[in-house]
A and B are shown apart, each in its own frame.
Chain A
């Protein structure tokens, strides 16, 4: 294996692994903060994939444009905003109910 010369597949595998870790965290954790962290990992996994595709794209006309990178920057921006809103909500919920366990936050059920 030539780790000094990584190919597209390396990055895609890294992205997929990170996505799965993040997904596991988002699905399995009870703590709302931990779920938020899982989501952040998933977002960054997607970012890696996008940048990798952009970097390794051999179709000339598109490789000159930084489409994937710009996508990634947008996602980072939106993720920051999302994290801010989500944290604010979590704090608000904690103040009301003294817990951030999503198992107990089920007011919206049937």
Chain B
């Protein structure tokens, strides 16, 4: 019987269809419907944008009032063409259908257990590279099971909301249609990872999301670096993200090759189910090699999910448009590492606990490191970027601890639970941050991302402020919001695992500390941007009427259009309720035991976790709403120890500088040596051969005298020599030289 789940290939190919339609159809329409000059002509700001020659930002604004043209160097369009608008509609409509269908598939399988078996369904959509026997393992095959469906709804939902949101956010950006085609391409690539049935397909999807990420980070390709804000050029950030991901992928592909070498298959099912190709049989008596392979595969996840030591690219990736940060660099792509580990969970289980301990420790170190760095960042989006890195660390802690401690009872549940809730509230945080940036852009005609230029914004954009606040409470782990359930499950699990594996008590302590830091930096960001000392509700809101203005920037910002606010509201609802899916653990794995909210609430350690979060919030409130940002800054600058610590976290513990130094002096040094070797030795051999032949030729050409008689000498001399040779050979063949 063809189950309805067979039709999930429609969801897989739908974004590819919208990509093709937009890039070859509506984008062409958009390009054809306006003259090329319109792209370069900044009619929206009333002056000629072809200012590459006389690049003079400050000169503008004289004739145009306060419309200082300083926002960025990318061309702006005064109005979107019909083709551009239709591009967005195509993407949104197709994604809406996919989203509804994927929610139907998920809910159907949740409420009708058994309609989709735990083993999942292989989709009929598959092909192989050839019919020869040795090509049999190399096939493109897709698979849908409970884990895939969980990830599927996350991807399609966030993608849909981000596309709706982008209509408002990208309104004035040139390349509007191209942007939507990239979003569709990204969604397709991500769904390839989600539906992958073997390592080959997941790796293809892996590289395709890397490409989409590269294209979207560098979307504003002409934008310059801002050294005074420590912000790189988007094009450079895109290259950095791409290269750092490739470093992780080297490990990933080597791990895949080790597995394939031993088992002869890429298929997840064949590798994990009992049989001659399973890792348990193929690696019997060789579990160290399997552990090495699994740790190498985890390297791919380290790169994609920006874990230490490959964490540097994600904060720089914030140079891309904010919807991209929300979709790719917060909710979905960076979670692909977590999804991949969850997908290959049985293989990690087969390899023993070592790989899981590596995962748990990498996750813990990343979580605490990123939380410490996020404490002092002043860029609104960078705080969120480090928060993402930190929360991804939590997910890996969830996977690693569950796997090392009790894989049967937990499975990939804790990690996926946090992935699921985090996707919604982190997308919300980014979209709210994007709303702030967009609204301030309209008010100041500058790209303001520095929190110190904000303040009291809640008065101007209440919807953004409330949704941001909801997300901040959620990420801090305050019940009954979703972040509380997923995060406290992980922290509680680490404590429980500590009873069996004592070193996990350290993980428990560090994750608990991280929870407090998370609450602190999220509320620091909220209060500094939306409230401030002297605001309403004790500083949580903008200034009241008649009070001194808290907003530190110029102009009067306003709330954005409905395309921006509606996704915020929907995501806020999702951020509140996403944690109530307590059946997730047993949905993902038949042997797992579900989260029990009753147990969670009756455990005093849970309240310890909440207490830590409340302390973090209270500390942020005291510092930024009671004492005030300027005074805190003065105190920190006045104390040598505090100043040193501030510098340390502000400069990301100098890890970025270390990598910069390593790249500049070590890797480039090796590269120069290699280049010199290439230029002298390798090229020397090739050129030497060439020169020898040329020299021989120029010497030998003198044989060509042009005199026919000299040729005849050669010819007859040769014949005579040959005759002598033949004579001698014949004589020898007849048995020795016998002259008559």
A and B found bound together: yes
Alpha-carbon gap, A109 to B709, bound state (A): 13
Partner pick for B712 among A27, A103, A109, CB 8 A cutoff: A27
- Asked whether any CB of chain B lies closer than 8 Å to the CB of A110, the reply is yes
B709–A106 CB distance below 8 A: no
Residues of chain B contacted by A105 (CB below 8 angstroms): 706-708
Partner pick for A110 among B701, B712, B713, CB 8 A cutoff: B701
- Asked whether any CB of chain B lies closer than 8 Å to the CB of A59, the reply is no
Residues of chain A contacted by B111 (CB below 8 angstroms): none
Residues of chain B contacted by A103 (CB below 8 angstroms): 707
B716–A102 CB distance below 8 A: no
A102–B704 CB distance below 8 A: no
The interface size of chain B toward A, counting residues with CB under 8 Å, comes to: 11
Alpha-carbon gap, A109 to B707, bound state (A): 7
Alpha-carbon gap, A103 to B704, bound state (A): 14
**Do most interface residues of chain A lie in helix, strand or loop, or is the interface mixed?**
loop
- Asked whether any CB of chain A lies closer than 8 Å to the CB of B738, the reply is no
A102–B707 CB distance below 8 A: yes
A108–B713 CB distance below 8 A: no
A102–B708 CB distance below 8 A: yes
A108–B716 CB distance below 8 A: no
Residues of chain A contacted by B3 (CB below 8 angstroms): none
Alpha-carbon gap, A76 to B518, bound state (A): 109
Residues of chain A contacted by B705 (CB below 8 angstroms): 106, 109-110
- Asked whether any CB of chain B lies closer than 8 Å to the CB of A23, the reply is yes
Residues of chain B contacted by A108 (CB below 8 angstroms): 704, 706
Alpha-carbon gap, A106 to B710, bound state (A): 11
Residues of chain A contacted by B226 (CB below 8 angstroms): none
Query: In chain B, what residue has the closest Cβ to A28?
Result: B709
Residues of chain A contacted by B712 (CB below 8 angstroms): 26-27
Query: In chain B, what residue has the closest Cβ to A109?
Result: B706
Complex interface bits, B701-740 against A, C-beta within 8 A gives 1, otherwise 0 = 1101111110011001000000000000000000000000
**Do most interface residues of chain B lie in helix, strand or loop, or is the interface mixed?**
helix
B716–A110 CB distance below 8 A: no
Residues of chain A contacted by B704 (CB below 8 angstroms): 108-110
B707–A110 CB distance below 8 A: no
Residues of chain A contacted by B716 (CB below 8 angstroms): 23, 27
B702–A110 CB distance below 8 A: yes
- Asked whether any CB of chain B lies closer than 8 Å to the CB of A1, the reply is no
B707–A27 CB distance below 8 A: no
- Asked whether any CB of chain B lies closer than 8 Å to the CB of A107, the reply is yes
Query: In chain A, what residue has the closest Cβ to B712?
Result: A27
B713–A27 CB distance below 8 A: yes
Alpha-carbon gap, A105 to B708, bound state (A): 9
Residues of chain A contacted by B713 (CB below 8 angstroms): 27
CB distance from A110 to the nearest CB of B (A): 4
Alpha-carbon gap, A109 to B706, bound state (A): 4
Report if A107-B709 is in contact (Cβ < 8 Å); known contacts: A23-B716, A27-B716.
no
Complex interface bits, A93-107 against B, C-beta within 8 A gives 1, otherwise 0 = 000000000110111
Query: In chain B, what residue has the closest Cβ to A39?
Result: B712
CB distance from B724 to the nearest CB of A (A): 15
**CB within 8 Å of B: which A64-110 residues:** 102-103, 105-110
CB distance from B720 to the nearest CB of A (A): 10
CB distance from A55 to the nearest CB of B (A): 24
Complex interface bits, A20-55 against B, C-beta within 8 A gives 1, otherwise 0 = 000100110000000100000000000000000000
Alpha-carbon gap, A102 to B710, bound state (A): 11
Alpha-carbon gap, A107 to B716, bound state (A): 23
CB distance from A42 to the nearest CB of B (A): 10
CB distance from B218 to the nearest CB of A (A): 58
Query: In chain A, what residue has the closest Cβ to B704?
Result: A110
A107–B707 CB distance below 8 A: no
Query: In chain A, what residue has the closest Cβ to B708?
Result: A102
Alpha-carbon gap, A58 to B708, bound state (A): 41
Query: In chain B, what residue has the closest Cβ to A103?
Result: B707
CB distance from A49 to the nearest CB of B (A): 15
CB distance from B666 to the nearest CB of A (A): 55
Alpha-carbon gap, A103 to B706, bound state (A): 9
Residues of chain A contacted by B702 (CB below 8 angstroms): 110
| Max chain B Cβ within 10 angstroms of own Cβ: one of A27, A35, A107, A109 | A109
| Max chain B Cβ within 10 angstroms of own Cβ: one of A23, A26, A102, A110 | A110
Alpha-carbon gap, A88 to B702, bound state (A): 30
Residues of chain A contacted by B706 (CB below 8 angstroms): 105-110
Alpha-carbon gap, A75 to B144, bound state (A): 86
Query: In chain A, what residue has the closest Cβ to B703?
Result: A110
Residues of chain A contacted by B707 (CB below 8 angstroms): 102-103, 105-106, 109
Alpha-carbon gap, A33 to B467, bound state (A): 110
Alpha-carbon gap, A107 to B705, bound state (A): 9
Residues of chain B contacted by A106 (CB below 8 angstroms): 705-707
Alpha-carbon gap, A77 to B693, bound state (A): 45
Residues of chain B contacted by A102 (CB below 8 angstroms): 707-709
CB distance from A82 to the nearest CB of B (A): 14
Query: In chain B, what residue has the closest Cβ to A107?
Result: B706
CB distance from B709 to the nearest CB of A (A): 6
- Could you list 8 examples of A-B contacts with CB < 8 Å? A26-B709, A27-B709, A105-B707, A106-B706, A107-B706, A108-B704, A108-B706, A110-B705
The 5 closest A-B pairs by CB, nearest first: A109-B706, A106-B706, A108-B706, A110-B701, A110-B704
- State the A residues within 8 Å of B (CB): 23, 26-27, 35, 102-103, 105-110
Given contacts A26-B712, A105-B707, 10 further A-B contacts (CB under 8 A): A27-B713, A27-B716, A35-B709, A102-B707, A103-B707, A106-B706, A108-B704, A108-B706, A109-B706, A110-B702
